[in-house]
Structures are given as C-alpha cells and as structure tokens.
C-alpha cells in the first residue's frame, strides 16, 4: 500500500515530501477499494443500511433524506443502536454555505439525581437497564432533520426500515452479540420476547441468516407514518405532517407506552419528560488547522477535544517527524492527553450552569501554553486539566478542585494496570456512523448510538432504550460540569466531523467506538492533510490509541501510559516508546471503522472511504 511504503521510508529518515513525490504514480492497493461517485455517496455501518440510502437517492431524495433512511435502517438492525438511542449530526447546507448541528441527545429523566444513584450504592449510573436510559432522541432527531432539510415524506424515508422490521436476514455480528448478551436480556421481559426467539434451546438468539422479525417496532413505525398521512389529508404541508408524527412519538400513545413500560421495569422516564424534550438545532464549534475549517458538536460531546488537539499540534512540524515515527506518536499522544484531560474536567451540557469555558479552551493562545508543557522525552503520567479561564479574561472558580484533581481521581476512579478485554470493551463501547453527500451540495455526518444490545426494550413499542446515563458523573470533584440532573444531557463520546477548505466541503467523517473516536478521527485527518494519503488509505492506515483519558462508560477507568499500537509497528519504535514510559498493547487493525467522504473539486466527484474491518461500507453513484 502507498501509505505502508511511505511508512517504511519515513522510518528510514527520508523526507515525507520526497516520499509523496516518489509514489505519486505508484499503483495503490488497499484492502477495500475506494468508493467513487459523481451524483451521490452513502456510507454507514451496515451494507443493507447503505442500500437503504441508495434506494432513497435513486428515488430523487437528497443527502438528508438518504441519511435519515440509513439512520432508520441501522436503528432497526440494532447496529449498536436502536430507536430509543441518541443522534448527533452535522449538516452542510449549500444554500446558506454553513454547517449546522443537530442535537438529538436525550436527557436525564425526572428523579435522576446524584443522590438517587448514590443511595443505591452506585459510583455511576448503571451500564444497562431502564435506569441507564436517557429520554429517546434518535426518533426526534431523524424527524427534525427530515422536516427541516429533507425533501421527502416520512413514509418514503421509513419504507426501507419498515421492510427490515417486517423481517430481514440477521447478520452474524448482531446475532452473536444477542447470544453473548442473553443473560442481561433475560432481565427484561419485552427484550426477551424480541431478541430470543429460541428461548430454552442451547442457542436462544437468532442464527446468522435467520429472518429476524420485529412486529412491535413495525407497528410503532406504522403509527408514525399514519400520523403523517392523516396530517397531510387535513391539508398540512410536508414539514408540518412530519412534526405531527414527532408529536405522536413524544406526546401521544407511543410516549405513554414508553413511559409506562420503562417505569414498570424500574426506570424513571415519565410522560412529561418525553413531552418536554426537544431537538436543538445549534451552532457547531470550529477551529482552523492550516487554513482548513474543522467543525465539531458543542461541549456536551467530546468533539471539541479534537479541535483543542489540532490547536496544540499546530505548534509542531508534524510532517518533518515522519508518519508514525516515535516522535510523531509521542507528540500526538501527549497533545491528546492534555485535550482529553480538559474534556474530562470541563465539558458538559451548556444549557446548565456552570458555563463551560469553551472560548478559553479553544483559543490558540491557550493551545500554545499547553504545547509548551509537553515533555518531549517521556510520557507525562500526571497530565491534567489546564486553566483556560485567563484566556477569556476570567478567574477559574474551580481552582481548589483543579489543584486536587489528580489526587481525588485516584480514589474516585480505578487506574487500570492490566488492560484487559473488559476494559477495552468499555473503552470502545458501540456506535455507528452515517455519511452522505449529493450533487446539490448537501453533506451529512451523523454519529448515532444508544439502545445497543443487550438493550431494555420499552414495552410493546419495540424501541430499545438508551444506556447513555452512565456517561454522567455523581461527584463534582470529577467534573463539576457533568454531574447528573433531571433534564440534563450527559457529556457523550459521540462526535461527527466535517471540514471545509476554501469555503467548500473538504471532508465529512465519523467513526464508531466510544472514547476512541476523536483520537482516531484526528489521525485520519492528519493522514490526509499532512501525509497526502487518499481517503481510503487514511481509513486503513495503522493508527494508535491513548488509554490515559478516563473512559466514559462503566467504571470510568483509565490506563496511565496505556498505548495501543498496530501490529505493523516496527520493533525500534516499540522499544523507544517503551523506554519513554508507555505500556503497550497491540491490535491487528487500529483505525476504525472510520467512514468518510472526500470532495474532489478538481474533478467534480466524491471519494468514499471505509476502514478495513467491521461491516461498515457504502455505495456511490
């Protein structure tokens, strides 16, 4: 592969610029071929779901319509999410030439306080079950995107998902996940009914290729379509009719059954919680890296951590270090540790006090100060949050907590010495991504999640509830901005990405896997910008992972100096990094799955990329 040849020569000390020039005409091979398209591009976590997007495009829909169809399909196929999960999206609007953000994250329900969970002997809200559930967000996010920026009806866009709910051949990945999680599934009667069609047999989950039927979910989707169609018959326009379906989900009979069944199973969600919840259309956050505008969701996601890291890295000549050299890996690792420490302490729902110091955190001046603190010879095991308040002309109200943060964390959280399978599973908890673009200029990047197997299903709705409450903390000593409160959104890992260059879309990119997301998206971006890789090469290129930030799931653990390298990393780099204080583990594939679209303005076409593991892929035309 081009990038592997580049890697070898860089390790030998040859200029990366010379490498790029040398290999310009070298025949490039990747494990997956790049996607090409002139009219549209549709990429997501399941091949059948990508087909749903292609079906909508073929019917004349735009990228928003197709994205909604892919989102609906992935929810129905339980691609690490369900209809009761949460959705985060960035949309480039070619009419306004601006990027907007869709915040469809659910909120903590009535009664969800730190005292409530502490009273149950918990250090964090639970990982599974109805007490882990925020209010459903994905259904509302989908309908809001479609109503505001799409062109088609809800009936048209939901048609592929409804066909899947009526029965589709389930793939091995999901079927085996159900079988592994069946002990948890059996705690919830409605989940047992849906997921375990062979109850009492040796294998109780569906077999791979078996037709998996979800009649309750199909009935719920039909109710949404019926509400829309009835509104259209009454003379309402397309947008108003979609919002009639929205109201049925959050204020009608669907909401009543979600609230009733959640409480029946021990959860807290009320009808009023559902009625009060609203999708927010927000301004995204943005920084520039060498003139390229990079957009992320606001600080209720981890997205700004990537922006902070880019600001820090602008102070270094990354290209001269060489791709995946010891110095390159160390510099990125240290910069990410600083940004993620800020994430762990300062990020939270901006709708709740206290106000997060985002102006300071994203300032170039603050980044310069953080860059100066990097020890270029050893890993900094004590890397912690900085003080961004002076960079927005304020005094930090949490200096006393900040000064004790490292010490207090050791008693509040576990510092893992053995990076085992359980730790990595929590660190990389599931997500999917949806990427779409069309010839009219609409671009969509979505990172939806929540309600993954083993989900607690809400009664006869067929809707799997979110597990996102676990991303809250219960103690302000960990993060005064992210303590659970009713009506509050947790600080989530979900983080779609978009970049503009010269005022035009340059990249749309996202990935699954919990706390890994922004650090691997960062490396993907740098692969293209600094090392001249194609979009498919960038998605497959060997990357590395820091495990030093606190995880957002389970016990919120971390591994100080924890570093996951690709198996292809040469022995001299391994030796150097070990000497610098890193505790190294290895994986065969480390890059994703990343899904991305590159906009080739010179030739007027799209390039699609998808990592070389997992089921993610797409279709272009």
pLDDT at 427: 60
- 49-63, 65-79, 508-522 — which is least confidently predicted? 508-522
Contact 515, 427 (CB under 8 A): yes
Distance CA 431, CA 214 (A): 21
Is the pLDDT confidence value at 11 over 70? no
Residue 249 lies in a domain: yes
Q: What average pLDDT does this structure show over 187-211?
A: 97
User: HSE-up of 550 (CA within 13 Å, CB side)?
Assistant: 29
Residue 187 lies in a domain: yes
136 and 204 assigned to the same domain:
yes
Residue 520, token pair as written in the block: 């691997």
Confidence tier at 615 by pLDDT (50, 70, 90)? confident
pLDDT at 407: 58
pLDDT at 79: 83
Q: How many domains does the chain have?
A: 2
Residues β-bridged to residue 13: none
Q: What is the pLDDT of residues 254-269, one digit of tens each?
A: 999 999 999 999 999 9
142 and 223 assigned to the same domain:
yes
Torsion over CA: 478, 283, 592, 9 (sign): negative
249 and 107 assigned to the same domain:
yes
**Nearest partner of 548 among 561, 529, 536, 535, judged by Cα:** 561
13 and 119 assigned to the same domain:
no
Q: What is the pLDDT of residues 512-539, one digit of tens each?
A: 878 899 999 999 999 999 999 999 999 9
Is the pLDDT confidence value at 592 over 90? no
Residue 260 lies in a domain: yes
* Residue 200 three-state SS: coil
Is the pLDDT confidence value at 7 over 80? no
pLDDT at 404: 83
Confidence tier at 425 by pLDDT (50, 70, 90)? low
Q: What average pLDDT does this structure show over 61-70?
A: 98
Confidence tier at 405 by pLDDT (50, 70, 90)? confident
Which residues fall within 8 angstroms of residue 422, CB to CB, at 6 or more apart? none
The rounded percent of the chain whose pLDDT value lies above 90 is: 84
Q: What average pLDDT does this structure show over 189-208?
A: 97
Which pTM was predicted? 0.93
pLDDT at 587: 87
Is the pLDDT confidence value at 5 over 70? no
135 and 184 assigned to the same domain:
yes
- Annotate 170-186 with three-state secondary structure: CCHHHHHHHHHCHHHHC
Residue 588 lies in a domain: no
pLDDT at 419: 65
pLDDT at 29: 80
117 and 15 assigned to the same domain:
no
Residue 91 lies in a domain: yes
Q: What is the pLDDT of residues 133-145, one digit of tens each?
A: 999 999 999 999 9
Q: What average pLDDT does this structure show over 451-479?
A: 96
164 and 208 assigned to the same domain:
yes
CA distances from 107 to 133, 146, 349, 472 (A): 9, 22, 10, 11
- 51-65, 193-207, 399-413 — which is least confidently predicted? 399-413
79 and 203 assigned to the same domain:
yes
Q: What average pLDDT does this structure show over 501-519?
A: 93
Q: What is the pLDDT of residues 539-590, one digit of tens each?
A: 999 999 999 999 889 888 888 999 999 998 999 999 999 999 999 999 888 8
2 and 56 assigned to the same domain:
no
Residue 251, token pair as written in the block: 């204020």
Dihedral pair phi/psi, residue 68, rounded to 5°: -65, -40
For residues 586 and 19, the model is more confident at: 586
Confidence tier at 424 by pLDDT (50, 70, 90)? low
13 and 158 assigned to the same domain:
no
- Give the mean pLDDT of the chain: 92
Confidence tier at 505 by pLDDT (50, 70, 90)? very high
Contact 61, 53 (CB under 8 A): no
pLDDT at 414: 65
Is the pLDDT confidence value at 415 over 80? no
77 and 201 assigned to the same domain:
yes
- Mark which of 471, 494, 518 sits at the end of a domain: 471
Residue 267 lies in a domain: yes
Is the pLDDT confidence value at 214 over 50? yes
Residue 73 lies in a domain: yes
Is the pLDDT confidence value at 24 over 70? no
Is the pLDDT confidence value at 86 over 90? yes
Confidence tier at 28 by pLDDT (50, 70, 90)? low
User: Where in the sequence is the domain holding 208, given as residue range(s)?
Assistant: 48-281+434-471
Distance CA 230, CA 561 (A): 59
Q: What is the pLDDT of residues 327-381, one digit of tens each?
A: 999 999 999 999 999 999 999 999 999 999 999 999 999 999 999 999 999 999 9
Is the pLDDT confidence value at 117 over 70? yes
pLDDT at 184: 96
**DSSP state string for 141-176:** HHHHHHHHH--S-HHHHHHHHHHHHT-EE--HHHHH
Distance CA 456, CA 452 (A): 9
Residue 364 lies in a domain: no
CA distances from 159 to 49, 218, 224, 326 (A): 12, 10, 12, 51
Dihedral pair phi/psi, residue 463, rounded to 5°: -90, 120
Confidence tier at 429 by pLDDT (50, 70, 90)? low
pLDDT at 315: 97
For residues 26 and 521, the model is more confident at: 521
pLDDT at 593: 87
pLDDT at 555: 86
Selection from 6-20, 140-154, 576-590 with the highest mean pLDDT? 140-154
* Residue 607 three-state SS: strand
225 and 130 assigned to the same domain:
yes
* Residue 407 three-state SS: helix
């Amino acid at each position: 592969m081009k990038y592997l040849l580049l890697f070898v020569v860089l390790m030998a000390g040859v200029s990366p610029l010379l490498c790029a020039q040398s290999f310009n005409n070298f025949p490039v091979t990747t494990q997956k071929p790049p996607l090409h398209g002139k009219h549209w591009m549709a990429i997501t976590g399941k091949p059948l779901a990508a087909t749903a997007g292609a079906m909508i495009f073929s019917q004349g829909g735009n990228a928003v319509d197709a994205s909604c169809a892919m989102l609906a399909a992935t929810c129905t196929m339980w691609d690490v999410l369900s209809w009761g999960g949460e959705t985060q999206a960035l949309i480039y609007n070619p009419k306004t030439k601006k990027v907007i953000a869709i915040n469809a994250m659910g909120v903590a329900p009535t009664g969800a306080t730190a005292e409530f969970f502490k009273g149950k002997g918990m250090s964090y809200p639970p990982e599974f079950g109805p007490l882990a559930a925020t209010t459903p967000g994905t259904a509302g996010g989908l309908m809001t995107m479609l109503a505001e920026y799409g062109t088609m009806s809800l009936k048209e866009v939901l048609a592929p998902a409804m066909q899947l709910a009526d029965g589709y051949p389930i793939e091995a990945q999901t079927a085996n996940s159900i079988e592994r999680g069946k002990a948890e599934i059996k705690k919830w009667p409605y989940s047992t009914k849906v997921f375990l069609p062979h109850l009492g047999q040796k294998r109780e989950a569906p077999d791979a290729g078996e037709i998996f039927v979800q009649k309750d979910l199909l009935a719920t989707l039909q109710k949404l379509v019926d509400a829309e169609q009835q509104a259209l018959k009454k003379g309402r326009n397309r947008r108003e009719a979609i919002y009639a379906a929205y109201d049925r989900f959050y204020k009608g009979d669907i909401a009543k059954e979600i609230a009733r069944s959640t409480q029946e199973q021990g959860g807290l969600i009320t009808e009023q919680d559902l009625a009060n919840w609203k999708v927010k259309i927000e301004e995204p956050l943005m920084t520039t890296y060498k003139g390229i505008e990079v957009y992320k969701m606001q600080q209720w996601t981890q997205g700004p951590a990537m922006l902070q890291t880019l600001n820090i890295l602008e102070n270094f000549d990354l290209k001269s270090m060489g791709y995946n050299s010891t110095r390159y890996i160390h510099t990125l690792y240290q910069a990410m540790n600083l940004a993620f420490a800020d994430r762990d302490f300062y990020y939270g729902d901006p709708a709740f006090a206290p106000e997060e110091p985002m102006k300071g955190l994203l300032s170039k001046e603050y980044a310069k100060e953080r860059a100066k603190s990097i020890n270029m010879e050893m890993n900094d095991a004590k890397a912690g949050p900085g003080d961004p308040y002076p960079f927005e002309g304020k005094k930090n109200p949490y200096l006393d907590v900040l000064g004790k943060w490292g010490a207090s964390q050791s008693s509040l959280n576990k510092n893992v010495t053995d990076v085992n399978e359980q730790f990595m599973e929590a660190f990389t908890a599931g997500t999917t991504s949806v990427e779409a673009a069309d010839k009219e200029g609409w671009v969509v990047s979505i990172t939806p999640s929540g309600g993954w197997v083993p989900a607690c299903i809400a009664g006869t709705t067929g809707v799997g509830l979110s597990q996102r409450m676990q991303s809250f903390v219960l103690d302000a000593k960990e993060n005064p901005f992210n303590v659970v409160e009713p009506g509050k959104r947790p600080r989530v890992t979900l983080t779609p990405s978009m970049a503009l260059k010269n005022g035009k879309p340059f990249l749309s990119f996202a990935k699954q896997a919990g706390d890994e997301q922004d650090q691997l998206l960062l490396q993907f971006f740098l692969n293209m910008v600094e090392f001249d890789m194609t979009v498919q090469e960038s998605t497959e290129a060997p990357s590395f992972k820091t495990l030093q930030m606190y995880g957002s799931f389970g016990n919120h653990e971390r591994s100080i100096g924890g570093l996951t390298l690709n198996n292809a990393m040469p022995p001299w780099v391994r030796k150097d990094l070990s000497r610098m204080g890193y505790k190294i583990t290895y994986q065969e594939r480390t890059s994703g799955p990343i899904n991305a679209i590159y906009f080739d303005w010179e030739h007027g076409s799209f390039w699609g990329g998808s990592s070389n593991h997992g089921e993610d892929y797409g279709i272009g035309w």
